[in-house]
Copies of this chain bind each other. A is one copy, B any other.
C-alpha cells in the first residue's frame, strides 16, 4: 500500500532570545503550512531560542523560558506534527534537542548525538551528547530526526542509526552558517548520505544574521539517490513543501509541491546577499533603523554604503564626508557622486579646525610631531568621534568600512576608522572588494559606484600623496598571504615555497601577529570566509611566537 506524507520545511529567521518573536514566526508558518495540507512541519535547530545563544544557556532562567515557549508552541499548533529545535535543559546539563510536538503535547525528544566544538562552534561548552536516535511515526511512515552535525559524518550516522531499523525519511534540522563554498560541502554531505542510505532527506536550515554569522537558509529535499530535488530560497525565509511517497516496496520518493526558489547566480551574488542580510539583521535586530557611513570617496566606504542602502533603503542611510587638506577634490567629488547615485543624504563636516586645535593642545607635550603617524591617526580619530557623536545624537548606527586585508595587517586607526557598530566588509579581502564593487554596478546596470572610485590607486589620504602601496604589498600578493597564513594556517616557509616573495611574507606575518589587539577592539562584521577574525580565530594578544621565515628554519 502506498503512503503519502506532506512535509513542510519552515526556513525561518529567528532572533536569539526572542522567544515571543520566534514563537510568532512559527505560528505564522504553521498557519501557512496547514493551508497547504502539510502534515509534518519542521523548524531549524534551536529555533525556539535562536542560534547560537552562547552563554545565555548557562542561565537556568533562560532554559526555563525556552521550555515555556516550547510548551506554548505545542498548545498553539495542535493539529499537525511539528519538529522544532530547542535547548533541553536538565539539571546541571542541557541537550541540543528536537522536540516532536503532537496534539498539543511534547510527544518525543531527540537529542543531538554529535556536538561541533571547532571553528565558530562551542557546543561542548553548552551541551552533552544525546545517547540514542528516535523514530517519528506519522501514520505508518517512519521519519528519523537528526540535528546539523549529526549528518556530517555518514559512517558515524550509520552506526547511530543501526538501532532504529528501517525508515522512510531522514530529517536534518540545522543552523549551518554561510561561508563561501559551504553550500558545496553541504551538497556533498547530502550526496554521501544518499549513497549510503538510499533514503530521501529533508534538510531544514536556519536563515538570518546573528552577530558575525549569516545563516543562508537554502533548505533542501534530496531523493533516495542523494540528488537535490527541491531547494528553498537563499538568504531569505521560505517554506519548502513536498510529498513523501512511500511505496509498498522500495525507497520513498519525493514530489515537490512548492515552487523551486531562485538560486544564487554565482559566488559574488552569494557574498553580496550574505553581506546584505548580515547587515540588515544586525542593524534591525539590535533595534536600529538608521545608519551613518563615513564616505571618503574610496572603494571600501562606497561598497559599504551601497550594501547599507540595499539592505535598509536610501532613506535610512546618511553619508558623512569629513575632508581635511589631504583629501583630493577627486575623492570628494566621488563621495558626492556616490551619495547622489545611491539617493542618500550627504553631510560635509570638515575636520581642519578641530585638527588644528588638537594639534595646538598636543604641542604642549614634549615630543609631539605634527606630521608623523600619530598625526595621521589623529585625523582618523577626529572622524570617528564626529561619526560617533552623530550616532549618539541621532540614534543611528555607524557602519565601519575596513576590509579583511586592512584588518589583517592593522592598516586602520583604532577608535578612528574602526569606530562603529558593525564592520560590514571586515571579512572581505580587498581584491574581492573590487569584484563586489563591479558586481554592484553590473547589477544596477550603471556606475552606482563611480568608475574613478574603482580605478584610482587606493589611499588613506592622511598625508600628502599617500598611497596604500607605500606601506603594503600589492593587494593581490597581500590577499594571497592572508589566505595562506590566516585562513589555512600555513607557515611562512610554505608560503615562500609556493612562490610568494619572502620579504613580503615576513612583513605581512609580523603585521598580522602584531595587530591582534586592534582586531580585539573592533566591531563585529559579516563572516564570509571559513576563517574570519572573530570566533573562528582566537589568538592571544600577548604572543611572542615568531612565525617568520628564515633560511635556517
Contact = CB atoms under 8 A, between A and B. Distances in A.
Interface of A: 15-19, 21, 52-56, 58-62, 65, 117-118, 122, 124-125, 209-211, 281-282, 285-286, 347-351, 353-354, 356-358, 360-362, 364-365, 367-369, 372-375, 377-378, 381-382, 384-386, 388-390, 392-394, 414-415, 419, 421, 489-494, 517, 520-524, 537-547
A190 B353 CA distance: 65
A392 to B, nearest CB: 4
A369 B393 contact: yes
Contacts of A52: 540
Given A54-B539, A59-B489, A385-B385, 18 more contacts: A16-B544, A17-B545, A17-B546, A54-B540, A55-B537, A55-B539, A61-B494, A285-B544, A286-B541, A354-B358, A356-B357, A362-B386, A362-B390, A365-B394, A368-B390, A415-B415, A520-B524, A524-B541
A292 B124 CA distance: 41
Contacts of A375: 389
A378 B385 contact: yes
Contacts of A544: 15-18, 21, 285
Contact of A349 (B60, B361, B385): B361
B367 A394 contact: yes
Contacts of A118: 125
A522 B521 contact: yes
Contacts of A59: 489, 491, 547
8 contacts: A17-B543, A61-B492, A65-B545, A210-B540, A285-B542, A286-B542, A358-B389, A362-B390
Contacts of A18: 544-545
Contacts of A382: 385
Given A349-B362, A415-B388, A521-B521, A53 B540 contact: yes
Nearest to A51: B540
Given A21-B544, A540-B56, A545-B65, A358 B381 contact: no
A521 B382 CA distance: 18
| Count of identical protomers in the assembly | 2
A542 B279 CA distance: 12
A544 B282 CA distance: 12
Given A55-B538, A540-B53, A545-B18, A374 B389 contact: yes
Contacts of A369: 393
Given A210-B542, A540-B53, A545-B16, A385 B358 contact: yes
B389 A378 contact: yes
A128 to B, nearest CB: 11
Given A124-B124, A544-B285, A393 B364 contact: no
A351 B361 contact: yes
Contacts of A394: 365, 367
Contact of A419 (B16, B386, B390, B415): B415
B491 A60 contact: yes
Contacts of A117: 117, 124-125
A544 B285 CA distance: 8
Nearest to A56: B545
A362 B388 contact: no
A545 B62 CA distance: 8
A389 B59 CA distance: 42
Contacts of A347: 364-365
A374 to B, nearest CB: 4
Contacts of A367: 393-394
A58 B364 contact: no
10 interchain residue pairs of minimum CB distance: A17-B545, A61-B491, A18-B544, A374-B392, A374-B393, A415-B415, A381-B385, A124-B124, A353-B357, A59-B489
Contacts of A374: 389-390, 392-393
Contact of A542 (B16, B392, B523, B539): B16
Nearest to A546: B17
A439 B548 CA distance: 46
Contacts of A541: 211, 286, 524
